[in-house]
Amino acid sequence: MDCYTLNTKRFAGLVWIFRVTGFLCSLLSLGFGIILANSKYWCLWEFDSNVVQLIYIGLWEAYYHWEFNFSGTETIILVHSPVNSTWTISPEFQCARNLILLEMLIKPVVVIFSSAALRVSIIKASVPEIQIVCYKCSVLILILSSLCTIISVTWNHVVDLYGNTTLDFPPTFPVKKEALIKKHNT
């Protein structure tokens, strides 16, 4: 029995490293999820047009450089266009948006559960099962949110790779989809 308590004391600092690392990983996962949701590189399309050559399509906004002649001077403006109801949005693109939105809504729950587990270990609660339940809930929710991310990114990539997307621009867009030369892998 004395040997067991000696080993437990020796690895007590190591346990704290794992606890804090788990909490930091959940924060990092939330940060990467925010970066992914705000990414403007879900689709990168190249066009045969003098006005717009490249369009960067994100989940909620499209970006492009609009070239036009203003009083004899060639002018280039960065334009942000929301991807809203005026666009013809494909079901797979809408599914990717919904899955990323779901992932962004449940990632804070992961952070809450992992911080609760860390807090329970700090106060040395008399019921250690609470900490175990918090860690298990955190892991299960993190797995669910990771599946949402993997499915949305993979599905978008496969559909964009095989060219089956039905994403179409609004009528007022400066370039038509018929001028599409190439869909770049992003």
Phi-psi region of 124 (alpha: psi -120 to 50; beta: other; left: phi over 0): left
| Statement to judge: residues 94 and 120 lie in one domain | yes
pLDDT at residue 32 in the model: 94
pLDDT at residue 1 in the model: 46
| Statement to judge: residues 52 and 83 lie in one domain | yes
In angstroms, what CA-CA distances link 87 with 33, 57, 77, 166? 25, 12, 21, 10
How many domains, the chain?
2
pLDDT at residue 51 in the model: 87
Q: What residues of the chain score a pLDDT lower than 70?
A: 1-12, 164-166, 186
Domain enclosing residue 112, as ranges: 1-38+90-166
Which are the contacts of 142, defined by CB distance < 8 A and separation ≥ 6? 26, 29, 110
| Statement to judge: residues 109 and 158 lie in one domain | yes
| Statement to judge: residues 115 and 151 lie in one domain | yes
| Statement to judge: residues 47 and 12 lie in one domain | no
pLDDT at residue 8 in the model: 60
| Statement to judge: residues 114 and 66 lie in one domain | no
| Statement to judge: residues 48 and 124 lie in one domain | no
| Statement to judge: residues 56 and 67 lie in one domain | yes
| Statement to judge: residues 74 and 143 lie in one domain | no
| Statement to judge: residues 75 and 5 lie in one domain | no
| Statement to judge: residues 81 and 99 lie in one domain | no
Is the distance from CB of 110 to CB of 131 less than 8 angstroms? no
| Statement to judge: residues 94 and 149 lie in one domain | yes
